[in-house]
């Protein structure tokens, strides 16, 4: 007779479910059998929502583009929706080196579409778009290190 945990599921079943979570890189798996339910959570990080942009201090140029030295003309503001890195890591534009990129400039994206991956501590985190739009600019190169909150892409 196999060992039951809390009288519900045997340890072998739980181990098999944990293997599925790890091999499929799932964040959570819930199984219901009659009145028995088990939820297992994996290690996969769910991307954090994009932070709200912070206004620069008074007197600083807008849009993150410095004005030319000695110029009283303000730098142009960045137009569009800035998609920022939800975590520190390495930016990847495609799921693997030999795959097509998730998106390129001019592509239309819908809310929920995966638009890039960030690798952090050997964990690949898919980053979905939080908005519908068109990719206006990709601000980093494949393989670049990105900081939390750094603008990765601009949608319009």
Domain ranges of the chain: 4-41, 79-155
Distance CA 76, CA 21 (A): 47
The overall average pLDDT reported for the chain is: 77
pLDDT of residue 64: 46
The rounded Cα 150 to chain-centroid distance in angstroms is: 12
Per-residue pLDDT, averaged over 5-20, amounts to 72
- Strand 108-109 and strand 133-138: the pairing is antiparallel
Distance CA 155, CA 135 (A): 5
| Residue that has been written with the tokens 């944990």 in this structure | 18
In the CATH scheme, what architecture does the domain 79-155 have? Beta Barrel (2.40)
Choose between 65 and 112: higher pLDDT. Answer: 112
C-alpha to C-alpha distances, 130 to 68, 94, 114, 115, 136, nearest whole angstrom: 34, 18, 10, 10, 15
pLDDT of residue 60: 44
Shortest CA distance to 92 belongs to which of 79, 82, 101, 83?
Answer: 101
Choose between 4 and 132: higher pLDDT. Answer: 132
pLDDT above 70 covers a percentage of the chain that reads 71
Burial of 40: CB neighbours in 10 Å, binned 0-12, 13-18, 19+: middle
Mind listing the pLDDT tens digit for each residue in 32-88?
A: 777 777 777 776 555 555 555 555 554 444 444 454 555 554 545 567 889 999 999
pLDDT of residue 40: 73
pLDDT of residue 111: 92
């Amino acid at each position: 007779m196999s060992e039951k945990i809390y009288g519900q599921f045997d340890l072998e079943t739980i181990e098999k479910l944990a293997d599925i979570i790890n091999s499929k890189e799932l964040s959570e798996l819930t199984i219901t059998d009659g009145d028995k339910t088990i939820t297992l959570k994996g290690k996969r990080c769910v991307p954090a929502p994009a932070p709200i942009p912070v206004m620069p201090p008074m007197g600083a140029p807008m849009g993150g583009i410095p004005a030319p030295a000695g110029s009283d003309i303000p730098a142009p503001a960045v137009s569009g929706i800035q998609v920022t890195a939800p975590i520190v890591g390495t930016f990847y534009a495609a799921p693997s080196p030999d795959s097509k990129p998730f998106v390129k400039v001019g592509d239309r994206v819908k809310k929920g579409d995966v638009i890039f991956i960030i690798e952090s501590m050997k964990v690949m985190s898919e980053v979905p778009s939080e908005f519908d739009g068109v990719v206006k600019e990709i601000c980093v190169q494949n393989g670049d290190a990105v900081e939390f909150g750094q603008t990765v892409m601009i949608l319009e």
